Structure 1
Amino acid sequence: MLNLHLPRAVGALLNRLTGQDGAPLPVDASDTVMRWPPTPARVLASGERHAHKCIARALALEHPKGFLLAQVPLHKLVRVPKQNSYREWLSRTGLLTVDFALCDEHGVVRAIVLMPLPDDQLRPRRKRERLLRVLEATGLPVASWDREWQAEHDAQRLRGTLFPRLAGSGQYSDTPHAH
């Protein structure tokens, strides 16, 4: 007489297929998540965290409901005319990022803060020059992070640097633009 233990055989097969029997599952060579398991990273270094705190205080004085974004890609901050190829523009500037973008409560960028770069590397310096050319064309206030802005009382000075008041005869540079 044939004695089959079907429930036990099915259970063993399911355990083997789901990897619960202790045997490792075969790893697909193209699955990057399994081959290189991701782990959380520190987004801001110590100096950048300190800058973020100081800049957030200055932003709160100017735009209390505004927000501060860190390491933002340039293509998220500016618009280009639609008659030109956006793909071409993105291929030239797509990898450029700003260190901090200060936005008002409506999500409109009001100012940019850049952290200083080491002077000994040519490629990052060229990328920074290209970034500065684009930002200059936008008319946004761009400030370089000054290591002297360490104290609490410098928030007013930083506010004046980031949000210059008069742009012309009686117009303020931080008024919303109609798009």
Structure 2
Amino acid sequence: MNIVLIGMRGVGKTNIARRVCFLTKRPVMSTDVLVEYEVGLPIPELVAQQGWPAFREAEYHVLRKLTTMDGLIIDAGGGIVVDLDDQGREVFSERKVDLLKANGRIVFLSGDVERLATKVAGDPRRPTLDSRTSAVDLMRSRLPFYERAADWTIDVEGKQRSDIADDIAARYT
């Protein structure tokens, strides 16, 4: 069984995944890092050159490979629970969530949207969002998707990342 961490940009998925990895001795895999490896471009460049649909498709192909493995900690990108419809709007991704659930437990790390939006603003490692959509609006629109996908939700506000990782490791090992 894999442990899959989902949540908004900046919520602490990577930090917590590394701590869970240390505690459980399971390898951690980042979907974003694997996408960059697969396509040979940093995500911001991929999105700028080929668009969000190309990124979401690359993400799906990475998941197809990852979910054939067992015993991983999966640090999922912030949009792992979405795909794009014909008009380019985000919709819940049945195909990606089904892959993750087939051999994993999904932990939604929830945090204050306003704080997270401020935290990730201007981070050059993250692709820019569609100019029509503010980070706050995007995060709020994804909340129901995260909640729908989650087997367990943890509110990270006011908690130490190490304590959250300890709870996850205790529950799933």
TM-score band, normalised by the shorter chain? 0.3 to 0.5
TM-score normalised over the length of structure 2: 0.35
TM-score normalised over the length of structure 1: 0.34
Report the structure number with the largest CA radius of gyration.
1
